[in-house]
Chains A and B, each alone.
Chain A
Amino acid sequence: MKTGKKSMTLEKKKSLTGWGFLLPATLLICWMNFYPMIQAFILSLKSGMGVNLSFSGFSNYTRILSDSTFKQCLFNTIFYLIIQVPVMLVLALALASMLNNKDLRFKGVFRTAIFLPCATSLVSYSMIFRSMFANDGLVNTILKGFGIAPVGWFANAWTARLIIVLALIWRWTGYNMVFYLAGLQNIEYSVYEAARIDGAGPVQSFFKITVPLLKPTILMTTIMSTNGTLQLFDESMNLTSGGPGKSTMSLSHYIYSTSFVQSPRFGYAAAMSIIILVMVAVLAVIQMKVGDKR
């Protein structure tokens, strides 16, 4: 009885210590993530310019429905999402499983080369792509060498979007690859050897061993990339400045310019941000459901 009581208090003490360990991080996340999120929702129900805000119900949301710029930005963002995320993740997975091969030489060199883009800052690489695809830039010079007329990459909406997608893939494939590589290293090499003895080819062992065992990692990177693409800002801002017109502008860019560039309309911007939040949440739930079924 006595010892039981003593161990109870010891347990309690340990549990309390544990809570103490968690407290700073938890409070910070609540203060910096959840509290502003609720604030954003309240703000989205208000309208007005600058600091003069009055409660206006859901009028911001109905206004979004008839905002052609918002629709354009939504279309752009979803376009980037649909094209870029699958291509990038498949590429990253393929590269990772190739680099995980024990017999491959110069592994370190390849790894570094593929991961290097991640070390460049978002703004920097936007600038590099911008100068490469400029009217008299590197790409057009090469085209000229082949006798092809130079292309006005940023003058056309579709080529401009294409460049953003290209840039995104260049920048983020290596980042995702690192997570896959880490996941692959947790898979025992003997599993592959056993599969090979049983007569499985490289393609078969990729789909039957690598993909199922990496499922949690794939799910995580998918959610992270989806989230990241929906929040795309730097590229839209610096690579194309949203142009031509607003044909490459991302939603975050639009939110930024609504709230900080011209006359600030915080309420309207907040309503748009809530829509992004809902989209991220819905997509994440779908991805988790799909991930569970497989």
Chain B
Amino acid sequence: MLCGATNKSTDVIAGKLVPGTYLLENLKKLTANQNLSMALWNSFRNAMILTLLALLICSIAGYGFEIYHDKGKDLVMEILLMAMMVPFAATMIPLFRMFSQLSMVNTMAAFMLPSISTPFLIMMFRQSARSFPHEIIEAARMDGLSEVGIFFRMFMPTMKSTYAAAMTITFMNAWNNYLWPKVILQDKSSITMPMLVSNLISGYALDYGMLMLSVFICTIPTAIVFFGLQKSFAEGITGSVK
């Protein structure tokens, strides 16, 4: 892929696996044909905001479910877990109709709302809150910290690795999401990277060098996030606390 980005279209097809000298030319062609910077910015902005909101809302809920749990909340959790089985295909059309009635098509909010709160993330944070020592909470209460304060001052800093893992998964999902943006972001100015890549093949003459470059650019952010957080990612999924 990386080599493909630097080669001519004909060389890529032939499977040439050594770096070539066409990188700049491919980049020029790509920026001439598509609005690369806009797609990158849209994707980046959407994915970042979505990830931050999702982490905040889901971690608060996961913490709430575990720390203050009682029968009523356990029941709510079970119902929420059922949402995990609802396939997106089943909710896509009503969601689209709902957002178009609210005239929210082509807005960032419409893109983000369906995936901010996911049962999977809530479950993940709930599991990690299980290993959060209750003595700390008691001690913090004694010291006069409010319940909200305990969450932000005690829980959040302790659970860094869970947050890292959740962030990796959420960011990758948000960045790679293709179907929903394709449905809800129909305006040219709100194009995202995966849409741009897929647009490239709709042309008649497919330039593989250009394609490979765009594929490469599309992969960089998720790769960075993944490698940057890799260590805490593995720890976080294990749910361990040091």
Taking Cβ atoms with an 8 Å cutoff, the residues of A that contact B are: 14-15, 17-22, 24-26, 28-29, 31-37, 39-40, 43, 112, 115-116, 118-124, 127-128, 130-131, 134, 136-138, 141-142, 178-179, 181-182, 185-186, 223, 227, 230-231, 233-234, 237-238, 251-252, 255-256, 259-260, 266, 269-270, 272-274, 276-277, 280-281, 284
Contact = CB atoms under 8 A, between A and B. Distances in A.
Interface string B198-239: 101100000010011001001100110111001000100111
A33 B120 CA distance: 13
Contacts of B225: 119
B86 A277 contact: yes
B229 to A, nearest CB: 11
A43 B201 contact: no
B113 A32 contact: yes
B32 interface: no
Interface string B75-100: 01000100111111111111111100
A181 B200 CA distance: 37
A284 B15 CA distance: 42
Contact of B12 (A14, A122, A131, A142): A131
Contact of B92 (A131, A273, A281): A273
Contacts of A37: 86, 90-91, 94
Contact of A36 (B12, B65, B73, B91): B91
Contact of A128 (B1, B90, B176, B238): B1
A259 B97 CA distance: 11
B69 interface: yes
Interface in B117-150: 117-119, 122, 147
A153 to B, nearest CB: 14
B172 interface: yes
Contacts of A116: 223
Nearest to A42: B94
Nearest to A139: B15
Contacts, number: 225
Interface in B53-80: 57-58, 60-61, 63-65, 67-70, 73, 76, 80
The main secondary structure of chain B at its interface with chain A is helix
Interface of B: 1, 4, 12-15, 57-58, 60-61, 63-65, 67-70, 73, 76, 80, 83-98, 113-114, 116-119, 122, 147, 151, 172, 175-176, 178-179, 183, 193-195, 197-198, 200-201, 208, 211-212, 215, 218-219, 222-223, 225-227, 230, 234, 237-240
B87 A280 contact: yes
Contacts of B68: 14-15, 17-19, 21
B83 A136 contact: no
Given A29-B83, A121-B222, A130-B201, 11 more contacts: A21-B68, A32-B95, A36-B90, A36-B95, A119-B225, A120-B223, A127-B200, A255-B92, A256-B179, A273-B93, A280-B85
A120 B225 CA distance: 12
A223 B178 contact: no
The main secondary structure of chain A at its interface with chain B is helix
Given A18-B73, A24-B61, A260-B183, A124 B194 contact: yes
Contact of A18 (B64, B172, B211): B64
A19 B73 contact: yes
17 contacts: A17-B64, A17-B68, A21-B65, A28-B113, A28-B116, A33-B83, A121-B175, A122-B176, A127-B215, A130-B201, A131-B13, A178-B234, A230-B87, A233-B89, A234-B178, A274-B90, A277-B90
B13 A185 contact: no
Contacts of A178: 234, 237
A187 B222 CA distance: 30
B94 A39 contact: yes
Between B65, B87, B89, B194, the greatest number of chain A beta carbons within 10 A of the residue's beta carbon is seen for: B89
A22 B234 contact: no
